[in-house]
Structure 1
Amino acid sequence: MATTERLKVVFNHAWAYCINNRNEFLMPEHLLYVLTENDEFYTALNMFYNPKKLKERIEEFFTQIDRIPDDYDYKPQLSFQMDQLDFIAFRFQSSSGTELTDIPHYVGGILELSESWASFILRDCLDGRDAEFMSELISLVEYNNFEEKSKDEEVDQQWKRLVVCMNEHYQQQNPLIGREAELQRTIQVLCRCEKNNPLHVGEPGVGKTALIWGLAQMIEEGRVPKRLLGSRIYQLDMGTLLAGTHYRGDFENRIKQIMDGVCEEGNNNIVYIDEIHTLVGAGATSDGAMDASNMLKPYLESGNVRFIGSTTYDEYNRYFSRSKGMIRRFQQIDIPEPTSDETKHIVHQLQPRYEEFHGVKYSDEAIDFAVEMSIKHIHDRFLPDKVIDLIDEAGAAMEIGDNDSVIGKKEIADVLAKTCKVDALSEAADVDYQNLESLAPRMLEQIYGQDEAIRQVVESVQMSRAGLLDDNKPLASLLFVGPTGVGKTEVARVLARELGIELVRFDMSEYTEKHTVAKLIGSPAGYVGYEDGGLLTDAIRKSPNCVLLLDEIEKAHEDIYNILLQVMDYARLTDNKGRHADFRNVVLIMTSNAGAQYASQASVGFQSSVSRGDAMMRQVKKTFKPEFLNRLSGSVVFNDMSREMATLILQKKLRELDAKLEAKHVSMTLSTDAFDYLLKEGFTPEYGAREMDRVIAQRLKPILMREILFGSLKDGGNVTISIKDGSLQIG
């Protein structure tokens, strides 16, 4: 069994102690005794128990063991428990995957031994904290192994294991395209005498890291000023620096090793620190303690090594700007998001790389379409990263499908529909215009007597698909006004179902108090629920292509109208964390019963031609602010419920009931007098269609329920409903 040098020393001392004590067998207690003199074991045990006291207890144990006479020549043998310990230690070593057996394997074996005094006394000292003790011991041994290994390595190889030389790997990255001005400014700062440290600040995905890869390529190709020729760019990763650091000072020691190694290699070397804001506070144990940024300041001042940092605007303001000393030593260079034309040029240049990787071809129209659609529909990310992701995803989708090897608009639109949940893009060549043309007739088959409301809703959707609406407004912002039960909410439900998109509904009666309105966009910082975000903004980010129904808007607190103003004007809402929700693919529908108490005024006087809805509309104009009403794309007055509408609605409700009965193999026939009875009981202008549901649920369904559960319809069959003695009955 191969062992470490450390363990060999421990065993040699154990044999020597056994012989000096004149003991016949080498026992685990001998091994435990000499382990108290081992540095790693002593340090680990000292966190839980005094090693000197353990040593004294073992010495007391040996006073009770028989000794071999001094004049007798003998050679100690391994005890039975020592043989067991060897086997257990070997088993631990095999399962751990290490090549050599070490001290932790034998200490773990001692704790595993049964009927051993060494095991008993060690467990007694640890008092149930065996696992914590073993973890500390293993960490100490591994750390010392690393330190010993590091001493044997050359200094040059120590720090290079913690960094990445970008000059050696630039060919594996996408080539840098464009960014001439930013690259020229970076080189200019690097050539300065003092404060020659550029700091790239830009949004995620605009190409900050790609700029450094491009600089590394220019250095290797000799396309830089003489001062930078032969420079090496080393990328510093904070995760690598922190990994495996156990003690205070390990992290700082690694930084010093890297900086000293870079300086010794040459005066033109460059250290690139991505996400440089992580340096501020890294390694500090408390406020005011030295962190990584303070350790770098002497090197920033010396000029022997140059630094390039990159971060985003948010992190710069939140973390980096707190360190005034770091700001003073860097020269900020803004990396703006490329324009649409610049992005098209970048992606066209990258096109051959992705065609070769995926084994496909991208049409020029597909690339331009991907850029335009990502700008229009992907708002939480930035160019060119979001476009590159889009064409890469389309290439991957083509690989796993049985499609042609040419990617066009359709393939890009399919990927965009899945990633952004924006369906049936009008710009794609395969939009189902026939389905869109028949939208109004299909809705009219389900909603009766509200033709004007359906016309306005359908026209808004069709105009958006035709590209005739303002791109910075919702598809439609409609206010539905009318008495209860005439179909205001039902229009929104049917529209969402026919378009195949989600219906997002908010009951505005839940937001009557001022503080409840904040839940829609999120509570302010410091208030309960701040981390939860906004209910409305989160719902729209999750389903950006939807029908948003704000039911009974007049019941909400008046502050809700101020929030909706910017939604109807700019199709954007910002939550409490500064994140934007995009409403450009949303059909906003608000329903209102405002003025329901004045609806009866519509019939006052002889031959009055004012409908209940028109009377309510007058009150609506008094309820809502002018600036709110002025931003609506339409205000729809729903017609009163008439007998003809009620007849059609009753027929629809009965068809829905027939569908449920069909699942039970039951067919229902309703006599003419029974139909008239339901219509008479269910139609009231005051309550609209909702009264119809109650009549069917209370008068018709109980009769069917009793027959299906306990009567003649247990196994299905036909049933006729008629009127007997003034009520619905079977037969």
Structure 2
Amino acid sequence: MAPSEEENIVSTVGSVLESCARDLTAEAISLDPIVGRDVEIEELITYLEMRTRRNVILLGDPGVGMTAVVEGLAQKIVNGTVSAGLRDCRIIALNMASFIGGTEYRGLFEKKISLLVQELEKANGEIILFVDEVHMLVGAGRGGRSDIDAANLLKPILSSGDIRFVGATTFEEYAQYVKPDAAFARRFNLINVNEPSRDNCISFLHKLVPLYEERECVVVDPKAIPAAVDLTIRNMPATRLPDKAIQVLILACSIANGLVPRTSATKNDPKETKPEETGNRPTPTLGGDQQGKAGETHQKLQQEQEDEQADGSQKKAEEKILYTGKSYVSKKFPNLRWRKSDKNGKGHQPYIDEDKKKSGSSKMFSKLRLRKKPDGNGHGHQSSTNEDKKISSPATELSNVQLEREEPNEAVTGPLPVVTVAHIEMAVSRKTGIPIYLGVKEKNELEGLEGRIKERVVGQNHVIKPIVDSIIRARAGYSNHTKPIGSFLLIGESGVGKTELAKTIALELYHDETRLITINMGEYYEENSVSRLLGSPGNVGVLTEEVFQRPASILMFEHVEEAHRVVLNALVGMITSATLRDGRGRKIDFSNTLVLMSSHCSYRKKGNAELTSQEIRNKISQEFLNRFENKLFPKLDTLVFDELTDEHMNFILRKKILEISERMEVKGLNLEATPRAIEYARSHYYNKGVRAIEGWLEKVVGTKLAEITISAESSSISKIVIDSHDNELLYHSIK
């Protein structure tokens, strides 16, 4: 009789640990070194050596390194630096997805749990079971009318002390899933894994850098390591160290590899293809297994230096250390040796020391050849000057060092890239969208920012300058990072350019008008509407979610005078500390935002002819602050917009008509407005503001132009002229 499908599934389960888990102790030699977690690892060892309740849950925010604590314990077990009770233990990481998979039939999940428990009991405590995302045990396997899940099935074995169990989860998931089941939660000892300090993270990265240098075939400038930590702390507050710094460093290595040119040349042809003649420039890849430890490289370097001093030969001159930025190639790759490449002594070819091929560094670079790029005369090793060692930009070609892959037919050559602070800035900018890197192009754009804004927003130079100054300070790194880029209260009548200024800044600064986040504060006139702005408990808010998704933005709060005082007071933290908490408890960072708040107030200069423009602005500002009593407005820099003059109105009219003309050119028509037409529009709509002029151009002029365009004679019309006569507008069609 053929076995049933259920019997087949049960029979194929076999060893649960073999099919659904991996041995971390077996992989310990290939894991990255763990630095700065000695306290957590020792606390974990203490709990695992207890007689009963040898169960631990590691709690921390995502990215702080909870799994790294377990990996650090695995490395200690392999190195034999643990007590006798744990020296023979293995750490087995259970894959919950594989464990739950294939248990859709009733009873299969319980069978799998039973087999797992049996295997752990047979190990007599020599297996430490590690479950990442341990909160998934609560509810796992529950279905139908049964309330039994993995957590309930494991409770007896967890309390008996027959097994060693380590889980990891976040504070939020522990509170949501594990803590409500008090009987399950009490069986665990808790270890808080906090975010490492800045200094510990820098020390951790220093240990990892040699590994990434060999994997990515780059050299990391020592200054780039603290820059990666500092820039991620400042610009990525939602994520945690060390994960965010590691990811930025890896991305920076890739960026450096992409910026440095590569050329391709066959091994039989000594002539190298010039970079400009190559279409696709391949990047060299590394072969072999990387198993060397970070500390071995330094020890091997010291041993080699002692050997050189003992020999007293001229090998020291041939093995001259080559500069690549501020790092030494020979120090990073200590197993490379230099020797003459031909009978004439031209050029230097390195080779791998056969006695040292067992090291991880030799294996990593066993297929790479480092050689000196020949000069125009074909000679190789030349004396270098300080000018040759300077790096002017991340993409500067380091012409004195090249890498080749030794393959039968083709070799990939190119300079060894250096990961600098500029690459770190580029990496952070790509991950966050925050403009951090300040290159030549960015500097030129900032220098002309004020002039470009003045071209679009006329008559308000006194308003534009302080805003641009705050932007330049922030981009240059001289602003206070605990506050927004700038926070300004814009006071003026409708149509003087408040909204246009915000749009222009977003377009000129980010080349994207969608970076402008506009919020109509007139909708928040009720006291309880603050929850809609910041988010009610458990929900996201209109303001906080927008800034969370786009941390580098222009915030435009319109009609702030109409908002409730409680709503305005709730925004004080955004100005004073550049942070607000949303309904989900997240701390939203506003340090990369420019905050603009506008008020439509009809303040006139009439009757104040004896006062200067600045005195009038000060008077208007003080009257506004006295009128609205709240904690927010006094903390803003108040800027008062001036009324537009006849000259300004004529300029705006011509600009708007030019925009219409550009749209008509697509249809093959030209538009022209005579000075009389401009004067007609100005005289009729000057007192109504720019908004009225825009409405008149769209509804009156636009409608008339549309009628002409769809007429039967439009195919023969090439130009439309708008004129004025006897207080009326005239439209002349020219064929």
What is the aligned partner in structure 1 of residue 6 from structure 2? 143
Q: Shift in Å at residue 164 of structure 1?
A: 2.3
- Deviation for aligned residue 1:374: 0.9
Letter in 2 for 1:522: G
The one-letter amino acid paired with 1:225 is: S
| Superposed counterparts of 1:662-701, under 5 Å | 662-684=665-687, 687-698=688-699, 700-701=701-702
1:468-503: CA deviation from partner (whole Å, max 9, x where unpaired): 322111111111111111111111111111112511
1:665–1:715 Cα contact (<8 Å) kept: no
Q: Residues of 2 paired with 1:704 and 1:285: CA distance?
A: 69
Counterparts in 2 of 1:294 and 1:682: CA distance versus 1, 3 Å: same
Q: Secondary structure at the match of 2:446?
A: helix
Given that 1:506 and 1:550 are in contact with CA atoms closer than 8 Å, whether structure 2 keeps it comes out as yes
Contact 1:197 1:308 in 2 (8 A): yes
Compare relative contact order (CA 8 Å, sep 6+) and give the higher one, 1 or 2: 2
The residue type equivalent to 1:217 in the other structure is: Q
Report if the CA contact (8 A) 1:666-1:718 is conserved: yes
How far 1:544 moved relative to its partner?
Answer: 1.0
**Per-residue CA shift, 1:13-34, capped at 9, x if unaligned?**
xxxxxxxxxxxxxxxxxxxxxx
Give CA-to-partner distance per residue, 1:298-352, whole Å, 9 cap, x none: 3233333222222221122222223334444332222111111211221221122
TM-score scaled by structure 1? Answer: 0.73
* Match in the other structure for 1:559: 566
Which secondary structure does the structure 2 equivalent of 1:322 belong to? coil
Q: Deviations over 1:608-633 (max 9, x none)?
A: 8799866754552234334212221x
| 1:711/1:159 CA distance change after superposition, 3 Å | closer
Q: Report what 2:646 is aligned to.
A: 643
**Residues 1:429 and 1:224: Cα distance change in structure 2 (over 3 Å):** farther
2:424 is the counterpart of 1:412: yes
Correspondence for 2:303 = none
Q: Describe the shift of the 1:606–1:282 C-alpha distance in structure 2 as closer, same or farther (beyond 3 A).
A: closer
Counterpart CA distance in 1 for 2:136 and 2:549 is 30
Aligned equivalent of 2:524, options 511, 516, 519:
511
- 1:520 matched residue in structure 2: 533
Supply the distance in 1 between the matched residues of 2:635 and 2:24 (Cα, whole angstroms).
Answer: 54
What is the aligned residue count?
Answer: 574
Gaps of 5+ in 2: 262-394, 396-416
Encode CA deviations 1:82-121: one digit per residue, 9 max, x unaligned. xxxxxxxxxxxxxxxxxxxxxxxxxxxxxxxxxxxxxxxx
Q: What CA distance in whole angstroms lies between the structure 1 residues aligned with 2:154 and 2:57?
A: 15
Distance 1:475 1:448, change over 3 A: same
Check if 1:318 corresponds to 2:176: yes
RMSD: 2.8
Aligned to 1:631: 635
Shift of 1:159: 4.7
CA contact 2:237–2:589 (8 Å) conserved in 1: yes
Q: CA deviation at 1:451?
A: 1.5
Instruction: Evaluate the alpha carbon distance shift between residue 609 and residue 373 of structure 1 in structure 2; reply closer, same or farther with a 3 A threshold.
Output: closer
Amino acid paired to 1:191: E
Could you tell me the TM-score, scaled by structure 2's length? 0.72
Letter in structure 2 aligned against 1:219: I
- Describe the shift of the 1:683–1:194 C-alpha distance in structure 2 as closer, same or farther (beyond 3 A): same
Aligned residues of 2:650 and 2:678 also touching (Cα < 8 A): no
SS, match of residue 591 in structure 1: strand
Q: Which residue of 2 aligns with 1:727?
A: 728
Kindly indicate whether the alpha-carbon contact (under 8 Å) linking 2:533 and 2:543 is maintained by their aligned counterparts in 1.
yes
Q: Please tell me the residue identity of whatever aligns with 1:564.
A: L
Q: Distance in 1 between matches of 2:523 and 2:188?
A: 52
Amino acid at match of 1:408: T
Tell whether the 8 Å contact from 2:58 to 2:166 is kept in structure 1 after alignment.
yes
- Deviation per CA, 1:352-393: give whole Å up to 9, x if none: 222333333332223322221111111221111111111223
Q: Of 199, 214, 231, which residue of structure 2 is paired with 1:373?
A: 231
Residues 28-427 of structure 1 aligned to structure 2 (within 5 Å)? 141-149=4-12, 157-284=15-142, 289-398=147-256, 403=261, 405-425=417-437
CA distance in 1, matches of 2:714, 2:166: 82
Distance 2:106 2:239 in 1: 39
- Provide the C-alpha distance between the structure 2 equivalents of 1:287 and 1:475, rounded to a whole number of angstroms: 57
1:678–1:696 contact (8 Å) kept in structure 2: no
Structure 1 counterpart of 2:5, one-letter code: E
Structure 1, unaligned stretches of length 5 or more?
A: 7-39, 41-140
User: Residues 568 and 630 of structure 2 are in contact (CA less than 8 Å); yes or no, is this contact kept in structure 1?
Assistant: no
1:464 to 2:474 alignment: yes
- Deviation, structure 1 residue 254: 1.8
SS at match of 1:227: coil
**One-letter identity of the residue aligned with 2:462:** E
Instruction: Give the Å deviation of 1:431.
Output: 6.5
**Which of 546, 560, 564 is 2:553 aligned to?**
546
**Structure 1 residue aligned with 2:273:** none
Distance 1:701 1:271, change over 3 A: closer
Conserved 8 A contact 1:409-1:429: no
Shift of the 722–175 alpha-carbon distance from structure 1 to 2, 3 Å rule, reads same
Q: 1:627 to 1:714 in 2, by over 3 A?
A: same
Q: 1:683 to 1:711 in 2, by over 3 A?
A: farther
CA distance in 1, matches of 2:590, 2:232: 16
Aligned partners of 1:198 and 1:308 also within 8 Å: yes
CA distance in 1, matches of 2:30, 2:609: 86
- Highest Rg: 1 or 2? 1
